């Protein structure tokens, strides 16, 4: 028997596409978010970056509007990363935060206000690994003291910013086998934010693995999700793939290896094929702006999303399938076929590997279909159906069009 998802999980799955934002002191160095660790910067030296953190380019309302216009339904922002610096007012826990930097502002307060104004759901990333505390290797007594600090920090996020979509933790993998006192942390969140998703990233080595019973989603860091078999699970868990747009989570000024628009569209589709959300990361610039290249790429992906309306958000995986990567989603009782590697129509002198139609077989259909039509082009496609499968002649793109993944409605 498959468990029924809790309302908060159902709502989370409908968000579908989230913007992950890594931003902190490390952004000023432009060599990735792990620079303190990888480049062995002493904590006292690294902390001097706080003195030049102005956040002058961080316009939360513009950022939230950009996210909405690019097709994102939620944003997960690093309220505190592994370097221990907080973008929120830690209210006396320490002064290693944005309000005590030249920025002089509670940036998380600005973030949540802007998200609500633009209809975006705010999520909070919060590290559980803290290099300033050396939480990965300190004594058990020091670690217990650190967990008090961590819980007090998360309690601030749960009590001073209104209703949030969820909390996204990262770092338990840094001290395997330790007692992270998850019962204590999660029960506090449930008391203060009962409708919030609780997610704890299992990291690169444990993609898709379930954890504490209070968690609401499994994670797939930098790897495509697999469709889950939820039969017999004690609780329905969502799935979420988090991935970088280039090869770093934070900004990296000499990282030119960005994913293409087509790759991102294909990855978004692969997530929805598995019923998982896609959390796509961008590292903000030194003082909080969205880099121009990333902005252009994400806006273009958003244009593709707009072509299908609510399908990416509300479509659910269907048992029907096509060859290779092709798949079917169902929404409002209708089926939609996602076709990869569609050929293009045109003159052989200008179109490489030109082709008119490609015959593909759709297996696992649970209903008769009356017509097949591309969403982006009028005209019926020829098909023949026999019991639970159909053979369709999928017409290639007209010259001047290529959607990376093309969608057809099966009526």
What sign for the dihedral angle of Cα 153, 155, 159, 164?
positive
- Evaluate whether 14 touches 51 at the Cβ level (below 8 Å): no
pLDDT over 90, % of the chain: 95
Asked if residue 352 has pLDDT above 90, the reply is no
Per-residue pLDDT averaged across 89-99, rounded? Answer: 98
Cα–Cα distance, 5 to 228 (Å, whole number): 14
Residue 362 pairs in a beta bridge with 390
pTM comes to 0.97
**Sorting pLDDT into bands at 50, 70 and 90, what band is 344?**
confident
pLDDT tens digit sequence for 3-49: 999 999 999 999 999 999 999 999 999 999 999 999 999 999 999 99
- For 265-283, how does the pLDDT look when each residue is reduced to its tens digit (9 = 90+)? 999 999 999 999 999 999 9
Whether the pLDDT of residue 354 is over 70: the answer is: no
Domains of the chain listed by start with CATH number: 7-314 (3.20.20.80), 316-410 (2.60.40)
Confidence class for position 115, pLDDT limits 50, 70, 90: very high
Task: Give the burial class of 349: count Cβ atoms within 10 A of its Cβ; 0-12 exposed, 13-18 middle, 19 or more buried.
Answer: exposed
Q: Quickly state the pLDDT bin for 353 (edges 50, 70, 90).
A: low
Q: Please provide the average confidence, as pLDDT, over all residues in the chain.
A: 96
pLDDT bracket for residue 345 (50, 70, 90):
confident
């Amino acid at each position: 028997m498959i468990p029924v998802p809790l309302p908060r999980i159902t709502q989370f799955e409908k968000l579908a596409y989230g913007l992950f934002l890594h931003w902190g002191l490390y952004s000023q160095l432009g060599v990735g978010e792990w620079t303190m660790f990888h480049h062995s910067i002493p904590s006292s030296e690294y902390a001097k970056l706080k003195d030049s953190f102005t956040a002058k380019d961080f316009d939360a309302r513009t950022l939230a509007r950009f996210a909405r216009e690019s097709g994102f339904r939620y944003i997960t922002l690093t309220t505190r990363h592994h370097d221990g610096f907080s973008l929120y007012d830690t209210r006396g826990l320490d002064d290693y935060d944005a309000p005590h930097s030249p920025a002089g502002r509670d940036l998380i307060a600005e973030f949540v206000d802007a998200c609500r104004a633009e209809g975006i759901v705010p999520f909070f990333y919060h590290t559980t690994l803290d290099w300033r505390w050396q939480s990965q290797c300190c004594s058990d007594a020091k670690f217990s003291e650190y967990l008090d600090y961590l819980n007090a920090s998360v309690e601030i996020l749960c009590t001073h910013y209104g209703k949030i979509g969820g909390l996204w933790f990262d770092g338990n993998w840094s001290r395997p086998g330790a007692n992270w006192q998850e019962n204590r942390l999660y029960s506090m969140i449930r008391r203060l934010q009962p409708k919030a998703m609780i997610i704890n990233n299992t990291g690169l080595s444990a993609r898709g693995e379930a954890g504490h019973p209070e968690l609401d989603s499994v994670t797939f860091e930098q790897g495509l999700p697999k469709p889950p078999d939820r039969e017999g699970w004690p609780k329905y868990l969502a799935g979420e793939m988090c991935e970088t747009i280039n090869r770093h989570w934070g900004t990296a000024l000499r990282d030119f290896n960005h994913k293409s628009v087509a790759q991102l569209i294909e990855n978004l589709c692969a997530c929805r094929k598995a019923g998982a959300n896609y959390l796509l990361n961008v590292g903000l610039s030194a003082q909080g702006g969205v880099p121009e290249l990333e902005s252009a790429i994400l806006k273009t992906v958003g244009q593709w999303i707009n072509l299908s309306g609510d399908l990416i958000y509300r479509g659910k995986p269907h048992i029907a399938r096509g060859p290779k990567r092709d798949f079917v989603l169902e929404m409002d009782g209708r089926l939609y076929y996602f076709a990869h590697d569609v050929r293009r129509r045109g003159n052989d002198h200008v179109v490489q590997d030109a082709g008119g139609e490609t015959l593909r077989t759709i297996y696992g259909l649970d209903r008769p279909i009356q017509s097949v039509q591309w969403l982006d082009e009028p005209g019926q496609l020829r098909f023949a159906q026999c019991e639970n499968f159909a053979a369709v002649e999928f017409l290639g793109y007209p010259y001047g069009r290529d959607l990376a993944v093309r969608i057809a409605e099966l009526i």
